[in-house]
Amino acid sequence: MIFRALLIVIFLLASRYSHGQSYIFNRLSIGEGLLSNHVLCVWQDKTGYLWIGTQSGLQRFDGLNFRTAMEGRVDQVLEDGSGKVWIRAGSRIGILNVHDFSVRYVAYEGSKEVYGPFKVWLRKDESGRVFLVHVGKNCQYYDKERGSFSRRNNPFSLPDSLPVIDVVPDPRLDRYWVLSRNDLGYWDKKTKRYYSRSPGESSDPILGSPLLPPAIARLHIDRKNRYWMVAGRPAGSSFFCFDGNKGKFSGDTLGMNGPDHDAPFEVYGFGSFEDSVTVAYGQNYLRARTGKSFADLRSPVSNPYGIHFNVVTSVLQDREGILWVATDNGLYYTSGTRNQYTHILFSQEKKRSVISSLLVGRQNKLWIGTWGRGAFVLSNEFNNVHVEPVAALNRLGDPAQRIMSLCEDAFGNIWAGCDLGYLARYNGGRETAVLFKPGMFESSEIRQIAADRAGRLWIGLQNGDVWTYDPALPLVEASFRKVFSFGGPVSRMVFLPGDRLWVAVSGKGILVIDAQNDRLLETIDIQKAATSDIAGLRDIMPVNDTLVLVAGEHLGAIHPKTYRANFENVHTGSLNGTIFALLKDQDQNVWLGGASGIYKFNPVTKALTKYSQQDGLLTIHNNSYVPERSAGLKSGRLAFGGNQHLVIFDPAEYKTARRPPDVTITGFQLNNRYLPVDSLLRSETILLPYTHNSFRIDFAAISFSDRERITYEYKMEGLDEAWVPLVKGGQVNYNFLPDGRYRFMVRAKNEQGDYSPAITHLNMRIRPPFWKTIWFFLLMAVFTGCVLFYFHRLRLQKLLHIEKVRNRLARDLHDDMGSTLSTINILSSIALQQKSLDAEKSKKYLDTINQSTHQMMEAMDDIVWSINPGNDSIGKMVARMKETAGSVLEPKQIDYRFETDPRVSELHLSMEARREIFLIFKEALNNIVKYAGCSLVVVGLSKKGTELMLTITDDGVGFTETQTASTVRGNGMKNMQNRAGNLKGRLTVVSEPGKGTAISLLMPIA
């Protein structure tokens, strides 16, 4: 792979030097979500997740979010050939379920003797089998049948006296290298024998070489068949490299044993990067082999884009080629030398300065104007960087040290607008410079200089004046002509096609000038633009015939013909802070430099992409890295500078040509509890009860190189009609979704509008509440049918009841009045048939008719009273009973008394019950009048529990209970018993000769 170097040029006051720096590092720490800054290991699974073991626990990282898998120290994570994920947590070994984060710990021989975290190590051979190295003891392979590590399962046999430190498989030679405290040997698979370096045992060139040190602490075999060895010595570690292809020790360790170590170091291990780079790491040690030697990757504390640590515990190159470095100061990562860029940083140790202007001359030199140190020129920004101060210009004095603007005229002279109204001219051919201060500038700072097509220079001042000068004329005051005075600082001047000069004036807006005729064409002020953003512009960039972009507090767009300005919805995405510089690349993309970094804007799609330290564009670390000025080189490379920092890069290398990967569902949280995603994805439809209809879906297009430039769109079919953009984050919350079937879909999109190959989806069904289910509807149908049937039965019962009442009324009318009317009819007929009646017989007939008529009227009155619903209460019944008692007993001179329990007054009885009770009472009174011969009758009504009790007592002659009722009192007693049966009650009669009679009715209250 071709190596490209990142070039950093740091300027000191009057001297310069440059040095190579291959990697720019980025850092993840507690602030980004790590459990601890002390990272112990890092591993990537097949899905692309990073698993990060720290002092405080194990986390899974998808590029957007961290999710804690387990708490407590985790030192190692690796996967065996069968897909099992193994972890080492201190001295414990376990198998991790990556789906539900459960751990099953595995026993090994001698586990009770291990007390520290560095006494056991997990290793994997070429077949994917996992084995354990008990440092200073032995090696143990995993036994699947026993579920534990054991020496009995080892594929080799080592001497029991051999204190094993490490075992390194060597598949090329079909052997295992065994490192011990006092020896280096190997187990040969073919001969099934262990060979040490004892004389005569082996002809291996490594063991037989006199260059082999007595004891080897670390051994690493890289992809080029080189054996890297670390030997421990009292004064420190030393390094050796054996070239397996050449069969001899080589000098490839150049740079590993350098004299620049200012602290004790120890190498823990090796790793590979970019197919050809060997990385060695450990305590106070991180070096990578670039070219023919190792380079120290540690950085000074003041370096904001370097790596700072005391210990490196692990390195990993992921599937995108990113190098991850686990340290005690967080997890660092770098893209290596993927892109080619140049960084220039001005040191502030002796004299402070800021980059104030950039200019690309005709000879493709980058001129750098500074406020504080004068001018510098970069003659070659690539490969062999050559930067030097413009001595002739910088010697002109303090005003020439404070440059605000640079411009090149038609003769190749460089003009510098300086402080206090000074104007400097530099002739590159003669390397001479002159400084001139026009008095009419009134010591106002020269903010802008621009050249029109005729070669004239347009000069904008701090006080708002605009002057013109023809470089062909002498540099005297008479050669300058004032053309405009805008009354505000000129912040930017840019020529558009047609020699139209656009001038941005602070507090005013944009003034459009016809440079050929020195005429003002248009004023785009606050009133015309309808926003105050137009009054604080920092840069102007023509994009095409219909679009001019302007930069300030916000990004704006102006039509160059209609001068209509728009600062709303110019771009998608988030753009924070002031925008200082605009620059167009060869692909018509516009690059923005601002307070929050460097962005790329696509005018067609309106897509806005942010680039950061991860991409090699060191723009924002503190206020020394704000890109405020820009210039485009003829090679197509772009330069952004500001304060003490300048970056030059090729925009073509930052095309996101790769389609984003498919989105992975990383989590499903239901009621703040994560559900196993793998089981959810295996099911065709996720079923949720209606009481658990609030959930969160986590997702990510797992790409660590493009994670800041990937956006997402999601849609919940059944809820959303269109795709919903999601610029930041990788999670969507849904609360209180109604029941139904849903399909959650999500896709990733890069800055060019390319979507991920497939749409990731989840089918979900929220079960309806029980009152919306089919069985409930069926149950309700059955219930409704039952209710209808019940009401139908009630209707039938009511009709039958009415029919029964009608029949009863008919029967009563027939029985009570029919017989009476028949009697009256008979007596009337007899009276009519008698030819002559004496007065006595006539009176007898009339008395009988009168009595029958009275009885008929009473019967009719009883019938009417019984069917009247207003008489349903017992109170009304008692009143009727008193009225009847008065009409029956008072003519016979019999006293009576009613004793009524107040609780029964408001009770309601049915018509039948009321009628039956009243008829029993009336029959009892008739019997008393006929047979009792009493002087007092007592009627009582009371409530006993759920029963009603009616008592009727008299003080009459009484009778013997053994006599039949028909003998004593006719059919009355029999009728009373029948009526009590109709009431489902009990009628008792207690009587004794000479002591009266007591009748009691006990009936249930409905």
Q: What is the mean pLDDT of the chain?
A: 85
CA distance 931 to 926: 9
pLDDT of 199 higher than 70: yes
**713: which DSSP letter?**
E
Of 266, 264, 292, nearest to 278 (Cα)? 292
What is the number of structural domains in the chain? 4
Is residue 1000 located within the same domain as residue 892?
yes
Laid out side by side, the sheet with 236-243 consists of 218-221, 226-233, 236-243, 248-250
What digits encode the pLDDT tens for the residues 262-294?
567 888 889 887 666 788 999 989 998 877 788
Is residue 736 located within the same domain as residue 819?
no
Last residue of a domain, one of 280, 298, 316: 298
**The most confident of 146-160, 262-276, 345-359, by mean pLDDT:** 146-160
Task: Give CA separation, 662 vs 334, 703, 731, 790, 967, in Å.
Answer: 23, 10, 15, 62, 108
Domain-embedded: residue 710: yes
Is residue 902 located within the same domain as residue 995?
yes
CA distance 548 to 540: 7
Is residue 734 located within the same domain as residue 704?
yes
- Residue 672: per-residue pLDDT: 82
- Residue 825: per-residue pLDDT: 63
Is residue 894 located within the same domain as residue 990?
yes
Q: Domain of 916: which CATH number? A: 3.30.565.10
Q: What is the CA angle 917-921-922, rounded to 5?
A: 115
Domain-embedded: residue 853: yes
Answer yes or no: are the C-beta atoms of 430 and 405 closer than 8 Å.
Answer: no
Domain-embedded: residue 527: no
Last residue of a domain, one of 246, 271, 298: 298
Domain-embedded: residue 953: yes
pLDDT of 958 higher than 50: yes
* pTM exceeds 0.75, yes or no: no
- Residue 787: per-residue pLDDT: 93
pLDDT of 968 higher than 50: no
Residues in the chain: 1006
Q: What is the CA angle 686-687-690, rounded to 5?
A: 135
What lies within 8 Å, CB to CB, of 818 at 6+ separation is none
- Residue 443: per-residue pLDDT: 95
Is residue 903 located within the same domain as residue 994?
yes
CA distance 931 to 923: 12
Domain-embedded: residue 809: yes
Q: Domain of 741: which CATH number? A: 2.60.40.10
What digits encode the pLDDT tens for the residues 364-415?
889 999 999 999 998 765 555 677 899 999 999 999 999 999 999 999 999 9
Lowest-confidence segment of 528-537, 823-832, 840-849 by average pLDDT:
823-832
Domain-embedded: residue 158: no
CA distance 582 to 549: 8
**The most confident of 335-339, 467-471, 930-934, by mean pLDDT:** 467-471
pLDDT of 17 higher than 60: no
Is residue 906 located within the same domain as residue 1000?
yes
CA distance 522 to 562: 10
CA distance 624 to 354: 8
Is residue 984 located within the same domain as residue 885?
yes
- Residue 391: per-residue pLDDT: 92
- Residue 14: per-residue pLDDT: 31
Last residue of a domain, one of 274, 298, 322: 298
Is residue 233 located within the same domain as residue 268?
yes
Answer yes or no: are the C-beta atoms of 289 and 275 closer than 8 Å.
Answer: no
Domain-embedded: residue 24: no
Is residue 269 located within the same domain as residue 292?
yes
pLDDT of 424 higher than 60: yes
- Residue 327: per-residue pLDDT: 96
Is residue 904 located within the same domain as residue 968?
yes
- Expressed as residue numbers, the domain containing 233 is 209-298
Domain-embedded: residue 753: yes
Q: Of all helices (H) and strands (E), which one includes residue 242?
A: strand 236-243
Is residue 900 located within the same domain as residue 980?
yes
The residue among 17 and 319 whose pLDDT is bigger is 319
CA distance 61 to 614: 17
Q: Band of the pLDDT at 306, cuts 50, 70, 90?
A: confident
Q: Domain of 860: which CATH number? A: 1.10.287
